[in-house]
Structures are given as C-alpha cells and as structure tokens.
Structure 1
C-alpha cells in the first residue's frame, strides 16, 4: 500500500515536471516533444499503477501506450519536416507569411 502510493506520487511529480519543462523550453520543437513524451510516460506509469492497484485488466493501458507511441512518431515526422523546410526547430524562425 505504501509503495503504490509512493509510485503514484512519483508519477504526479513526473507529470508536473513535464509540464514545467514544456512551458520553460517552448522555443525549440524538439524540447517540447520530449516534454510531451515525459508527460505521457508519467500518465502511463500512473495508469498502470492504478490498474495494478485495482486489479483490473491492462488492455486500456496498452491502448494508451499505443497511442503515445503513435503520437511520438507523428511528432518526430513533424520535426523532420520542419527542419527540412526551415533549417532548424526554433519557433522564432517561423513566419506567418510562409506556407
């Protein structure tokens, strides 16, 4: 009981650290994507501890992990596309006038 509450508190701290780094490092796309993946890892960890604590099935957790992997692949493909078109991943180099 005590170990599971520590794990849930640790996952909540992971989520808040990910949100803090997302807000702090918002100038580069790669840092923002890494922060989002860290948030997803914290949510996955919290969900898996919750499912293990309640004794439920892990199908929903695996579905969430699949969606997080798809989100990561989509973010990396967007990063590659942005670096090819603009030369870097800084948001300051983007212009509203460009397509």
Structure 2
C-alpha cells in the first residue's frame, strides 16, 4: 500500500490549474485549446489514480480512463484536420461555428 505525500497531489492540482489557465489564455488556435484540454485530462487521470491507489485496482482504472483520453484525442485531431481542410487554418476567428 503506497501513501503519496501532499506534494504529489499539489503538483497534480497545479498541472490541472495550468491546463485551465492555458485554455483560457491561449484560445487563438484550435490546436492550442485541444492540447490544453488533453493536459487537463491527463492531470485529472493522475489525480484519480492517486486517489484510488490504496484500493489496489488503480492499474485497470487508469488504463480505462487513459483509453478514453486517447479516443478523445483522436477525435479532436480528426476534427482539427477536417476544419483545416474546409477552412484553410485553425484560427477561431476565421470560421463561424454554424458553418462547421
């Protein structure tokens, strides 16, 4: 049974807050927004794995959520490719959401 210190949890929370701040401040490109969302998901998976580590099944839990994050990343990249092919770039200001 592994007990993690408060420093590890605070680093994971700092990662999550860094992802939120980059999502809010760097929203000019769609790729920047997708990368910050992916960073937030990975930090939340890390927090969940730290929370469920005394249970003993954190490996299966982490792999399940990691596979969900991979599917989300693949879907985001496919949408990014579609938007770049249809609009020519990934600026948020260059396309209207009703056209997509």
Please tell me the TM-score bracket, short chain as reference.
0.7 to 0.9
**Contact persistence 1:26–1:32 (CA under 8 A):** yes
Please list every run of 5 or more consecutive structure 2 residues that lacks an aligned counterpart in the other structure: none
> Residue 91 of structure 1 aligns to a residue in which SS?
coil
Give 1:5 deviation, angstroms: 1.6
User: How big is the alpha-carbon RMSD for the aligned residues of Structure 1 and Structure 2?
Assistant: 1.6
More helix by share: 1
Q: How does 1:60-99 map to 2 (within 5 A)?
A: 60-95=61-96, 98-99=99-100
User: What CA distance in whole angstroms lies between the structure 2 residues aligned with 1:71 and 1:81?
Assistant: 15
Q: Return the TM-score normalized by structure 2.
A: 0.87
The 1-side partners of 2:97 and 2:41 are apart by 30
- For structure 1, the residue ranges without an aligned partner over 5 or more in a row are none
Which residue in 1 is equivalent to 2:33? 32
The aligned residue for residue 14 of structure 2 is 13
SS state at 1:93 partner = coil
What's the TM-score once normalised by structure 1's chain length?
0.88
User: What displacement does 1:95 show?
Assistant: 2.8
Question: How many positions carry a matched residue from both structures?
Answer: 97
Matched residue, 1:56: 56
